[in-house]
Amino acid sequence: MAGIVKPKALEKGDVVAVVAPSEPILASEKAGMEAFFRKFNHEIKFGANIMASVGDYSAGSARQRADDLNAAFADPNVKAVFSAVGGFVGSQELELLDFDAICKNPKIFAGYSDATTIQMALLVKCAMVTFHSPNAAFFPTRKITGYTVSCFWKMLTTTSGEEVIEPQSVWQSMRDGAAQGVLFGGNLSCICKLLGTPWDPIAALDRVFGKDQKFIFFWEEGYDQFSEIMRNFWQIRNSGFLKRVAGMLVGKLTAVKELDYQNFPTKKELLLEATEPFGFPIIYGVDFGHEVPQATVPVGVVAGMDTKKMRLEILEPAVI
């Protein structure tokens, strides 16, 4: 690969930061996160504006949210930065982020849903590995012995060997086969919203990974109509990216309903039609997205998938 940057592994006692790039958090959520991370021997720093709010839509202004992200990456004591919750406004602060400083201070950045917006920008501007994982406010609601939590810590701390993600729910093969490539993806609509912008992740793939690199495309979506999801998926196809896809993982499509059409084809029929010219294997229902169990999937590292073995193998550590 041309120049991917891996962050340092999280170690016991490290300071972590929680920021709110999108929606604000409640006082009860803040207390829960503090207790959770301290239980795992991590001091936690919260963004100064994490409870600022524009209604319940945004954690303060774009400038406030960007300031918190910039401060977390600039702080030499902070070893990982976690998104508190999702939302819809992450793209508003991209032009305000100090990518020069962030690139000089690579560290773990983890979250999902609207956090994909920040993750794609970090890939484009800093070639940085990030993690599609639960948001920080989610953890206090889960049992600390559960798969979602154990997979999270394993991905952020393991510096040697391979990691295997196996089904915790029902995975289905939509098109049989095996594939290897760099993991690329996250929330589908967030990726699409960046196409044609200075933070367009697909346009940056040649520069970051080289023009011959193949990818395992993983994506999830929640609380949307499938007709809109298919419009987004065809935008990805029309970008030319699917020519570089060796395999695809479809995560959980949570609370996805079709309201505009009464006689609508099935999700699988439409996805098979959209991907038919490319012929790559597809696993459907993989454990990432807006529900549990939820695996932590690194963006930017080499992995393998196999519909016969029904597993995802992370073939290199995501941290150093």
Strands 245-254 and 215-222: parallel
Reply yes or no on whether the pLDDT at 148 is more than 70. Answer: yes
**Are 132 and 231 in a shared domain?**
no
Helix (H) / strand (E) element for 135: namely: none
Give the end of a domain, one of 93, 111, 143: 143
Q: What is the CATH number of the domain that holds 37?
A: 3.40.50.10740
Q: What is the pLDDT of residues 77-133, one digit of tens each?
A: 999 999 999 999 999 999 999 999 999 999 999 999 999 999 999 999 999 999 999
Reply yes or no on whether the pLDDT at 159 is more than 70. Answer: yes
**Are 245 and 293 in a shared domain?**
yes
Q: How far is CA 223 from the centre of its chain?
A: 17
Q: What is the pLDDT of residues 166-209, one digit of tens each?
A: 999 999 999 999 999 999 999 999 999 999 999 999 999 999 99
Expressed as residue numbers, the domain containing 36 is 15-143
By CB atoms closer than 10 A (0-12, 13-18, 19+), residue 12 is: exposed
SS (H, E, C) 248-312: EEEEEEECCCCCCCCCCCCHHHHHHHHHCCCCCCEEECCCCCCCCCCCCEEECCEEEEECCCCEE
Query: Are 189 and 308 in contact, with CB atoms under 8 Å apart?
Result: no
* 155 inside domain: no
Give the end of a domain, one of 109, 143, 177: 143
**Are 125 and 197 in a shared domain?**
no
Tell me the CA distances in angstroms from 178 to 124, 311, 313, one per residue in order.
28, 10, 11
**Are 169 and 138 in a shared domain?**
no
**Are 97 and 170 in a shared domain?**
no
Q: How far is CA 33 from the centre of its chain?
A: 20
pTM: 0.97
**Are 182 and 291 in a shared domain?**
yes
* 8 inside domain: no
**Are 94 and 178 in a shared domain?**
no
- Residue 143 is predicted with a pLDDT of 74
Over residues 153-174, the mean pLDDT reads 96
**Are 197 and 281 in a shared domain?**
yes
pLDDT > 70 fraction of the chain, expressed in percent and rounded: 99
* pLDDT tier for residue 2 given thresholds of 50, 70 and 90: low
* 6 inside domain: no
**Are 133 and 183 in a shared domain?**
no
User: What does the DSSP assignment read for 82-109?
Assistant: EE----S-GGGGGGGS-HHHHHHS--EE
**Are 128 and 216 in a shared domain?**
no
- Residue 267 is predicted with a pLDDT of 95
* 275 inside domain: yes
200, HSE (Cβ side, Cα atoms, 13 Å): 13
**Are 167 and 310 in a shared domain?**
yes
Tell me the CA distances in angstroms from 61 to 22, 51, 83, 88, 99, one per residue in order.
10, 11, 16, 13, 19
* pLDDT tier for residue 73 given thresholds of 50, 70 and 90: very high
Over residues 222-248, the mean pLDDT reads 97
How many domains does the chain divide into?
2
- Residue 298 is predicted with a pLDDT of 98
Tell me which residue has tokens 């393998």: 304
Say whether 118 sits in a helix, a strand or coil: helix
Tell me which residue has tokens 């982020």: 97
Reply yes or no on whether the pLDDT at 3 is more than 80. Answer: yes
Question: What is the rounded distance in angstroms from the CA atom of residue 195 to the CA atom of residue 189?
Answer: 10
**Are 124 and 265 in a shared domain?**
no
* 279 inside domain: yes
Q: What is the CATH number of the domain that holds 204?
A: 3.50.30.60
Give the end of a domain, one of 143, 172, 194: 143
